[in-house]
């Protein structure tokens, strides 16, 4: 029997996140481990009168690719992949890793070549703006989170509100807090982040803050923008490990001047951190400032789809901006890093405290 929570998640993704209409094409992508959710998504797309298409890959596809591909193969982007995304009215991508460390031994240079080749695909998906990214719980994610599989399933489906009798109503209710935060941020200029070993200022003048409440990420819960690219000044120490490409970079500390990273240090995998920052001209600048608003996510689990939404945290992304925010930074990199403000931190906007110790001050 299919888990009722999987069915409810599929319904909320099709009916709420993507609002699929008759005759619309929905491209469903992910690894083979995501098959239970992929099938329920297809079922809901068909019930909505749409056309489901699958792009499911073997679980170890990336591992085999990086082990065997030569440079020309790393740089190759199939035209059929771009064509499928162009044809689709909606794109739902499912994360379902069975080994989160599978790529930890891959040369970062090879990964950079492959990422650069996929950049036209990323740009197309972002430009169409009809995508949703979600996660299907696996034992690998549970192990990373320090949980048993059933415990992790309860955590994940709870964060996605798939445990609720009416998940769509639950997500509509979640918009209320974000709308209050967005109202406070409208027309903002200077943002200051203060926390242990952290005092960083940046400008958001002329930029647009957007709410994120389940349309593009599931789970969701953040407001975000693209900072002015030359504005970041000061230093920040990120609370949790920054996980990227199967690597865990611990105790990341960055110093900014003129908007660019001028000093980068880490307790583990520092060379990888510096390699990513040197990927291209935009990788050393900030592409995103995000403020977590999902108070159903209370702990770090080494998965950025959940971790950046932690209520009471902020995250900064090195690299690519989202054009919809007015951000102009271009890069093959988009790497989110989290600073938890729930223990002695605060977020100031134009000299007024917006959040202290993880709690919003909106009055």
Domain count, the chain: 2
Shared-domain flag, residues 280 and 145: no
Q: Residue 326 pLDDT more than 90?
A: yes
Q: Which DSSP state fits 26?
A: E
Answer yes or no: is pLDDT of 247 > 90: no
What does the pLDDT read at residue 268? 96
Distance CA 13, CA 4 (A): 14
Q: Do 224 and 349 share a domain, yes or no?
A: yes
pLDDT of residue 321: 95
- Same domain (yes/no): 256, 141: no
Query: Is residue 328's pLDDT more than 90?
Result: yes
- Pick the last residue of a domain from 165, 190, 205: 165
Domain that holds residue 13: 4-165
| pLDDT over threshold 80, residue 363 | no
Task: Give how far Cα 296 sits from Cα of 180, 305, 360, Å.
Answer: 18, 13, 15
137 and 180, same domain (yes or no):
no
pTM score, two decimals? 0.85
Kindly state whether residues 242 and 355 are assigned to the same domain: yes
From 110, 135, 165, give the residue that closes a domain: 165
For residue 339, the model assigns a pLDDT of 98
Task: Specify whether 67 is located in the same domain as 113.
Answer: yes
- Outline where DSSP puts E strands in the chain: 25-31, 51-57, 90-95, 131-135, 190-195, 198-203, 210-212, 217-218, 222-225, 233-237, 242-244, 247-249, 253-257, 260-265, 286-292, 313-319, 334-340, 346-349, 352-356, 359-360
Question: Is the model's pLDDT at 246 over the cut of 80?
Answer: no
> Between 163 and 245, whose confidence is greater?
163
**What distance lies between CA 167 and its chain's CA centroid?**
21
Q: Please give the Cα distance from 288 to 168 (Å, whole number).
A: 27
Q: What digits encode the pLDDT tens for the residues 50-104?
A: 999 999 999 999 999 999 999 999 999 999 999 999 999 999 999 999 999 898 8
Q: Are residues 182 and 256 in the same domain?
A: yes
Helix (H) or strand (E) run with residue 283 in it? none
Tell me the pLDDT tens digit for each residue of 164-188: 888 988 898 888 889 999 999 999 9
Question: Residue 115 sits in a domain of what CATH number?
Answer: 3.40.1830.10
Model pLDDT for residues 27-47, shown as the tens digit of each residue: 999 999 999 999 999 999 999
Question: Are both 151 and 44 inside the same structural domain?
Answer: yes
Final residue in a domain of this structure, among 135, 165, 195: 165
Residues 239 and 286 grouped into a single domain: yes
Q: How confident is the model at residue 261 (pLDDT cuts 50, 70, 90)?
A: very high
Residues 154 and 193 in one domain: no
Alpha-carbon distance 80 to 44, whole Å? Answer: 25
Are residues 159 and 178 located together in one domain of the fold?
Answer: no
* Pair (354, 220) in one structural domain: yes
The phi-psi region of residue 302 (left if phi > 0; otherwise alpha if psi is between -120 and 50; otherwise beta) is left
Over residues 338-362, the pLDDT tens digits come to: 999 999 999 999 999 999 999 999 8
The percent of residues above 90 in pLDDT, for the chain, comes to: 87
């Amino acid at each position: 029997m299919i888990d009722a929570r999987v069915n409810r998640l599929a319904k909320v993704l099709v009916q709420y996140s993507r609002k699929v209409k008759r005759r619309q094409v929905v491209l469903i992508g992910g690894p083979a481990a995501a098959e239970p959710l992929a099938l329920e998504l297809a079922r809901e797309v068909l019930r909505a009168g749409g056309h489901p298409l699958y792009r499911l890959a073997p679980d170890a596809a990336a591992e085999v690719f990086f082990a065997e591909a030569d440079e020309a193969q790393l740089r190759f982007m199939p035209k059929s992949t771009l064509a499928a995304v162009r044809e689709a009215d909606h794109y739902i991508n499912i994360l379902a890793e069975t080994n989160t460390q599978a790529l930890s031994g891959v040369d970062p240079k090879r990964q950079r070549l492959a990422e650069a080749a996929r950049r036209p695909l990323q740009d197309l998906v972002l430009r169409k703006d009809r995508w949703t990214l979600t996660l299907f719980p696996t034992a690998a994610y549970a192990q990373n989170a320090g949980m048993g599989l059933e415990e992790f399933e309860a955590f994940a489906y709870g964060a996605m509100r798939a445990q609720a009798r009416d998940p769509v109503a639950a997500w509509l209710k979640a918009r209320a807090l974000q709308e209050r935060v967005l109202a406070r941020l409208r027309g903002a200029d200077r943002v200051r982040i203060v926390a242990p070993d952290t005092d960083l200022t940046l400008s958001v003048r002329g930029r647009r803050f957007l709410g994120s409440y389940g349309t593009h990420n599931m789970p969701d819960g953040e407001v975000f923008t693209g900072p002015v690219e030359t504005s970041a000044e000061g230093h920040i120490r990120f609370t949790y490990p920054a996980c990227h490409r199967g690597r865990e970079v611990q105790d990341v500390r960055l110093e900014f001047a003129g908007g660019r990273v001028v000093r980068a240090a880490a307790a583990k995998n520092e060379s990888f951190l510096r390699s990513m920052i040197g990927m291209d001209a935009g990788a050393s600048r900030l592409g995103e400032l995000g403020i977590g608003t999902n108070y159903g996510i209370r702990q770090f689990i080494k998965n950025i789809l959940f971790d950046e939404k932690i209520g009471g945290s902020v995250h900064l992304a090195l690299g690519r901006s989202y054009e919809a925010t007015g951000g102009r930074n271009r890069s093959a990199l988009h790497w989110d890093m989290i600073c938890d403000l729930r223990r002695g931190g605060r977020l100031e906007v134009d000299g007024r405290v917006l959040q202290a110790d993880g709690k919003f001050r909106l009055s």
